[in-house]
Structure 1
């Protein structure tokens, strides 16, 4: 075929490829060194050679589709032929060196990520459902959000988010799957079927440490940790590995549940963490005639917030009261959180309000070194 390279069209093609993000790393493929070559020709055709990080990349078709769409979106280009290759070990090492090192990135002085552990005193209060819905609400609001399912023994986040694919591994680096705009990692992605995880304290600590050091989340605005109920090993490990993390305490309106939840918040007395607030879940149920029924009583969330204020001598607000809705459970079973599947429901509106109040505290610059030289 007689065709000549069009230099101007090639420059515009290359610029357009800068808009294509690797679906797992969430960085432009041009920045990651994934574009080996790109040429556009005077007959309106183009050829792009893309290097995948690993040969079995599960999202290779997505990359091909995105590159094709970006190329054909350039005026003058009618078709794009995408050739896929694989990075050499040296290229892959350079990629990893540019992404992260084996430290907890969220504890570094230049990190602006807010880390919030979602805690409860007991199971069954909807802590995991609230975590994934808060994450999706924040992501829909334009924030970069990650979730760590730190409830190793009772992991449920992958199912609640509809995630079935395993994480991608680039040697020892793990790329978390993305669902509803949220990056997610869970031990449930590494076990076969519904096998139980029978681990004791040191292994639990190591699992959380590996999630924080080996998983590449990139630059996040918010990282949510779905903590196991109670005040056991993981709660202690979080305070050690993420000393600047905060706690959000979830309870139901029932007095007994609020009393147990107080212990989860009171951990902050020992760890020095800040309790950013309380959420009362399953607060009320709207009946067909429009009236509200309170199946678990009332006032537990407000009482818990007051007790934590008195105990910690700090401001602990009641951030919201989420109603009990069948759609919330149905969304979790289907892997579509209610804020995504039923955004106009009363529960969704309340969760979005809580997410907004949590996330829109400004990320502080105090103590950060800025690359500014006075003249």
Structure 2
């Protein structure tokens, strides 16, 4: 694999931070982390081994932090938000275990993927165990509405995975098709994670809708930046190998844009590399060259900015507070990963 130039080297990196949100939910996250470790336990030795391999691998745990912050910002003071946040993280972890099997990924967050150590079968089954534990905790909270939102998200995520299978290696995939995939596969859990906060705080439809819109658009922006980083970031930013999407034949937005804008020769390249999977040395660098020629990476980032604007606008109905400021900064943080 050739060298990949970092995106947007001229722009200052890190002016937006996630630390304000981390600080606000620190005490709650300590309880969430303890609960996660407890609920990942089992008398079947392989289950905690596989689960803890991924749970302890250093993810930011943004999704459960959204649940905690949304609940606190909505005035919730009991402990139900802790169980829901742990449920959200278990749902996310389960999807990562399943994704790595479907995508045949070798790395996850800079470490060998669980499937590489324990096999595909164990990864899928431990993911199923975590989903089961997630739903048990949701039931313990006793909120039918929260259970409804999170269970619906689980269904939508699975639909998104199947949609992605259909779109894989298919250069006829459109931008609308792709946004539908990531709306289901990624944004649905962000949306649900944020919406359950005001639900258990007993807030009304307007607050629920606002937090859901915040999470949904944040999730879309987050995924689009990941798509851009796969062709112009670093393994440290991604938690996986740069170019994995290309090697796995994934049709992401940068590719869709470059393919539509490219010459007949360029389209033939994409068809060979992604549809047929005939990748040779130098193809990743060639792909990046086409993406840059047609501004596909920058335009993908611009799409992410637009969804980021929608995410910020959704919180406009709430009065200023430390939680609101932190959640707004999270939007900037997610988008500035590209710089």
The interval holding the TM-score normalised by the smaller chain is under 0.3
Q: TM-score normalized by structure 2?
A: 0.27
The structure that is strand-richer by fraction is 1
Q: TM-score normalized by structure 1?
A: 0.25
Larger radius of gyration: 1
**Higher RCO (C-alpha under 8 Å, 6+ residues apart):** 2
